[in-house]
Amino acid sequence: MLVKLVEVFKPQGDRVHLDEIHVSPSAVTTIRREPSSPLLSEAMTLGLTEGVQFSRITIIEGASARSVVVIGSPEELRQKLNKRQLLRD
């Protein structure tokens, strides 16, 4: 099962972009709150709701790992990534 998240990223020399990514919950190893930064301030100019929270997740991809910033609080992401487990309880 893949979970759809929205990534916030900024290619070098370009503006901030939002893009959907699909992540396997088993590939996510960490979720932590992302503090305010110029990247997130610029992302807010794209029409995001005031008060939206951001998190940084680490994703294992084969023998390497990458870190991405996504929209949502750590708690919201945990709930999305663990949805299947909640249905089994």
What is the sign of the dihedral through the CA atoms of 74, 68, 48 and 35? positive
pLDDT of residue 1: 85
pLDDT of residue 83: 64
pLDDT of residue 4: 96
pLDDT of residue 64: 96
Please tell me the pTM assigned to this model: 0.85
From first to last of its 89 residues, the chain has per-residue pLDDT tens of 899 999 999 999 899 999 999 999 999 999 999 998 988 999 999 989 988 999 999 999 999 999 999 999 999 999 999 865 444 44
Distance, in Å, from the CA atom of 17 to the CA atom of 59, rounded to the nearest integer, reads 19
The helix/strand/coil state of 67 is: strand
pLDDT of residue 89: 42
